[in-house]
Amino acid sequence: MPRAARAAAVADGAAPRVKLISSNRKASHDFHLLERHEAGIALVGTEVKSLRQKAANLQDAYGAVEGDEVFLYNCHIAPYEQGNRNNHEPRRKRRLLLHRREIERLKGRVLEKGLTLIPTRLYFKGGRVKVEIALARGKRLYDKRVAIAKRDSDREVQRAMRGRVHGSAGRGGRRATRDD
């Protein structure tokens, strides 16, 4: 979509299309996600080309506030295959683009004991790369066990409800047929 057409679509009130690149599904397992923020990310050209091929990993990534800027560390963006010797470094620190008020607010919250910034999603929105960062508090082992037990019990309830809806006679039971 050309830039002018994209700008016209946004002006008409249509939401820009979001195309997911990578998500950090383990983040919700390891952390209590308190708030989420959308941030732009400062990239070089070969990084954007590599992201279009979905070659990113947020697994061990985290954010940190340094002075008046927020940086993303340990986010792996694979080198662009058709790149030359000027290709980017895969795990370099990348600057996140946020408004000053958002940075000040995050800075105050991160200084609280036990809070950190964790990237949860990396995606294209309106042709630009965005990262969703969450203010998070680490889960303890018993929190994880409780979450797993709740998920398992919910799954059992769903399984039991599905059995009732379909009218099955249970395990090993015999259904009535027309010939009976």
CATH number, position 71? 2.40.280.10
pTM score above 0.85: no
Q: How is residue 130 written in tokens?
A: 């965005």
What does the pLDDT look like over 17-75, one tens digit per residue? Answer: 888 888 888 888 788 888 899 999 998 888 888 888 888 888 888 898 988 899 999 98
Of the candidates 81, 79, 34, 86, which has an alpha carbon nearest to the alpha carbon of residue 57?
79
pLDDT at 129 over 60: yes
Residue 148 lies in a domain: no
Confidence of residue 143 (pLDDT cuts 50, 70, 90): confident
Residue 69 lies in a domain: yes
pLDDT at 86 over 80: no
CA angle, corner 13, sides to 10 and 15, nearest 5? 65
* Percent of the chain whose pLDDT exceeds 90: 18
- The range of the structural domain enclosing residue 91 comes to 15-139
C-beta separation of 10 from 131 below 8 A:
no
Q: What is the mean pLDDT of residues 106-125?
A: 87
Residue 163 lies in a domain: no
Q: Give the whole-angstrom CA distance, residue 5 versus residue 9.
A: 6
Provide the pairing of β-strand 76-77 with 56-57. Answer: antiparallel
Residue 78 lies in a domain: yes
Residue 145 lies in a domain: no
What's the confidence (pLDDT) of residue 3? 57
Of the candidates 19, 51, 26, which has an alpha carbon nearest to the alpha carbon of residue 134?
26
Confidence of residue 5 (pLDDT cuts 50, 70, 90): low
> What is the number of domains present in the chain?
1
Cross-strand pairs, 32: 137
